[in-house]
Structure 1
Amino acid sequence: MNFQSLGLAPELVRALADVGYTTPTPIQAQAIPLALAGHDLMGGAQTGTGKTAAFALPLLHRLAEAGPQRGPRKPRALVLTPTRELAVQVNDSLRTYGKHLRMNTATVYGGAGMQPQIEALRRGVDVLVACPGRLLDHLQQRTVDLSQVEILVLDEADRMLDMGFLPAIRRVLSALPRKRQTMLFSATFEESIKKLALDFLTNPQQVQVTPQNATAASVSHVVHPVDTSRKRELLIEILSKRHQDQILVFGRTKHGCNRLAEQLEKSGISAVAIHGNKSQGQRLKALRDFKSGQARVMVATDVAARGLDIPLLPLVINFDLPMVAEDYVHRIGRTGRAGASGEAISLVAQDESGLLRAIQRVLKADITVVEVEGYTPTKTLRMGNDSPARGRPAGNRPPARREGAAPRGRRPHAGTGERHAHAGPKGHGPRGGGERRQGTTDSAR
């Protein structure tokens, strides 16, 4: 199957060929024909599966097929995203795919001046990509007219609900025509998402291409037990051994990420921090420095867990485990993309044992535990059912082993080996994704 066989306009197929995309991913192969037929759509897809193109391509095709607007250009398609980073990336994708079409796109999001956005809207826009909070500002100031919107996309709908955007979404939708096509994309289809779909979609078709809360099969997972006070020391040792790799490190707080990046710099490791307190310009610069190799390490809150376009990232390190187990999947989705191999290392202190158990329940698999010589924690990491992560194991849980040492021999009642959590298909076409902002909903506007 190729993109031409899906019935897309020749201009879109040519644009895809220009960037080397010929074979649709599973979500694209299933969603695009349904969207082209005009159906409302619920698309279930993890980050890295190509979901951005799954809605962007049929959206552009349908607008091109309808022809140019008469009179002032008002948005005919609206894409709502939870964060400014995702809005920028979706807009970039739309421009890439639609470069042979005469389409104007624009983004509106918080953290940037209103006036340039107002001027872009006045010049005329076919496709508008927006964060709900800032879009409400424009609606209240009457600087945007959504009365001509034919297609609505809710991207990363689960994240928008998590961030408290539902009231804003309802207010935005009240400004849209009732007759429209609506596409909703989400990593999960929890009850809140199903209720949202019932409220906003009409007889939607549903496509789900990856198991919920699954990580790529090409990613290996490992936990290093370590005292909290020695995490930074262990991180620096790991980074010093991986001096040729670009590495994404996840922290829990904005202040902690800033401090950690500064400490890495003092240790001679080039690092940048990215989180919700950074201005849009600072965040874009940090991302550019990281992608160009000027900074080898990016320390991030969960703002970077979805949607940041970092191709072929070999390693993700959880300096702190996420407070919500499902966010582990989104963090790890930054590596092992497009079939490439990847690694996920988590530095876990004893007081994070409960978080680790929750992550294993989400993954439905154990994660390999490896003690690094010289960093044995003072308190045993407990993995569940009162089973320690080292010493005599209980049930079928494998014992921990020291890094670089041969696995321990089998003991009576010991586990039969170490297991890795993995799942998910490998795609071949253009990739897409989303991300979660750290902080309040207002900071995401």
Structure 2
Amino acid sequence: MTSTTFAELGVPVALTDVLESDGKTHAFPIQVGTLPDTLAGRDVLGRGRTGSGKTLAFSLPTAARLGARGGRAKPGRPRALILAPTRELATQIDAVIAPLAEAYGMRTATIFGGVSQRRQEQALRRGVEIVVACPGRLEDLMGQGHVSLDSVEITVLDEADHMADLGFLPGVTRIMNATPQRGQRLLFSATLDNGVDKLVKRFLSDPITHAVDPADSPVEAMTHHVFHTDGVEAKRELVHTLASGTSRRILFTRTKHQAKKLAKQLTAAGIPAVDLHGNLSQNARDRNLAAFAGDEVRVLVATDVAARGVHVDGVELVVHVDPPAEHKAYLHRSGRTARAGSAGDVVTVVLPEQRRETQQLLRKAGIGVRPESVSAVSPQVVRLVGEVAAHVEPTAAGPVPAPAQRSKGQRPASGQAPADGPRAGRRRGGRRRGGSGSASASGAPKAAAPAQHQRSQRPAQRGTTASAGTGGAAAFSARGGSGASHRRRSR
């Protein structure tokens, strides 16, 4: 946070009023650097680590410039396009930009796979000014004639390096080629690896570069710990202890099976937990995120699908239950804490056979920390956990929401969560993968049985996106999961 206000940077009053109502008055460095140029219509390359405030840095000029020009979008022809690599990030972006767009009477929509495209088609037919999309589903809708990009005035690529990591750059290139060359283009990325530099050279016209912190740099407000354990049982006890505090914490595993299993074990042990991984339907993913961001659970067990794009305020501890495969994943996982100027702790739990590999990974990530041999009752562990939360007996009406029963004839989700591939949501055998895509604006999810206890049930494919609650937690847009747009009521 700096001493510079958004008003001093030239942000219109209509938008500063929205920001102030949300407690935002002063800009972060990435916003201070980029806003004067983006508001002036320049192409900008913004480089900053996770949690640096990039979403607001491009949302403000997008809403301000479209709003100043006025006019409404024609059916199927959005005026601004924001590309994101994952559905979680697309939903988060929409939650930020929707109230800004509403200040000018504009509408937004999200487009991604894993849910029915029917409501996305309906939103496009009604006309939306700003579309936040993942490349795969957007290309599907373009090929089917539901959307044209020839009226796009502003194009934003967010987390471009992650799109490259997921293999989306060919699709991103095709999408960018479909937007008018005369439009403004903004690209935000932590690095320029894996072909991102080629996107910059090809699509940005005389861009101004603003960099905040070196690429892949660790966050100063983040304290790192490396805990060596003697074996699998000692690790299990340590992880359960680390999960037992009163604050929000995210535990990362390498596989979906491990995430589901650990969340179930924690819940059974009286520590309510939800999981987040690629085997969950969009409905279940949104409900679990809403529970974690609200007051129902304080532990999220996730695979790397949550390492980018999921922002929930107040995450004080990140635990690498399994060390990640490479150093970038370590930094992005760790970036779920110590966001927006807050402090946080990161723990890596290491088995004897993982010590050498983990030390090399941390060296590449620029993390210099001395490993400690600990058990679940070691003083440094007890200090890190702090106050232990009350035991919550798991019951049928416990605090952990369960995936809804799928309706008769409904197919389960088939794709990996982050890889919003080009065939996500297409018809198969006369049926459309996904569900109705209906959205819930109810806020907190209803109580149900722990999701991890339901072995035989498959989640429904309703593309619901619930509000993530209040109390400083990020708001997950009530229309984001379905891709539907609607005019939000004035504050």
Q: Which amino acid letter does the alignment assign opposite residue 143 of structure 2?
A: Q
Question: In the superposition, relative to structure 1, how do residues 229 and 18 fare at CA in structure 2: closer, same or farther (>3 Å)?
Answer: same
| Corresponding position: 1:213 with 2:192 | no
Question: In the superposition, relative to structure 1, how do residues 133 and 443 fare at CA in structure 2: closer, same or farther (>3 Å)?
Answer: closer
Secondary structure at the aligned position of 1:338 is classed as: coil
1:122 aligns with 2:101: no
Asked if 2 retains the 8 angstrom alpha-carbon contact of 1:250 and 1:319, the reply is: yes
Residue in 2 that maps onto 1:159:
162
Q: Are 1:371 and 2:373 counterparts? A: yes
What is the TM-score when the length of structure 2 is the normalising length?
A: 0.75
Moved more, 227-236 or 165-174: 227-236
- 1:196-229 residue CA offsets vs partner (Å, 9 max, x unmatched): 2112211111110122222221211111112452
Corresponding residue of 1:182: 185
2:195 aligned residue: 192
2:288 to 283, 286, 293: 286
- For the residue of structure 1 that corresponds to 2:180, the secondary structure is coil
Cα RMSD (Å): 2.1
Q: Which residue of 2 aligns with 1:266?
A: 268
Runs of 5+ in structure 1 lacking a partner? 376-401, 406-436
TM-score (norm 1): 0.82
Partner of 2:360: 358
Q: Report if the CA contact (8 A) 1:32-1:54 is conserved.
A: yes
CA change 1:198–1:355 in 2 (3 A) is farther
Structure 1 position 100, deviation (Å): 1.7
Residue type of the alignment partner of 1:442:
G
Runs of 4+ with deviation above 3 angstroms: 69-73, 402-405, 437-441
Q: Residues of 2 paired with 1:282 and 1:300: CA distance? A: 13
SS in 2 for 1:79: strand
Q: Does the residue aligned with 2:46 lie in a helix, a strand or coil?
A: strand
Q: Relative to 1, partners in 2 of residues 1:191 and 1:206: Cα closer, same or farther, differing over 3 Å?
A: farther
Secondary structure (helix, strand or coil) at the match of 1:339 reads: coil
Q: What is aligned with 2:28? A: 25
Q: Does 1:11 align with 2:14?
A: yes
CA contact (8 A) 1:276 1:443 kept: no
Q: Percent identity over the alignment? A: 40
1:32-431 matches, within 5 Å, as 32-69=35-72, 72=75, 74-190=77-193, 192-227=195-230, 229-230=232-233, 231-240=235-244, 242=245, 244-373=246-375, 403=379
Structure 2: runs of 5 or more not aligned: 382-415, 425-491
> Aligned partner of 2:117: which letter?
M
- Aligned position for 2:421: 442
Deviations 1:13-53 (A, max 9, x none): 11111111111111001111111222111110112111111
User: Which has the larger Rg?
Assistant: 1
Local SS of the residue matching 2:145: coil
Quote the offset at 1:319 in angstroms.
Answer: 0.2
Contact 2:362 2:368 survives alignment (8 Å): yes
Change (3 A) 1:439 1:56: closer
How many equivalent residue pairs?
386
Tell me which amino acid in the other structure corresponds to 2:351.
Answer: A
The CA deviation at 1:115 is 0.6
Deviates most, 359-368 or 119-128: 359-368
Tell me the distance in 1 between the aligned counterparts of 2:84 and 2:21.
27
Measured at CA, do residues 443 and 248 of structure 1 come closer, stay the same or move farther in structure 2, by a change above 3 Å?
farther
Alpha-carbon distance change, 300 to 206 in structure 1, aligned in 2, over 3 angstroms: same
Aligned 8 A contact 1:301 1:438 in 2: no
Change (3 A) 1:373 1:176: closer
**Residue range with higher mean Cα deviation, 118-127 or 365-374:** 365-374
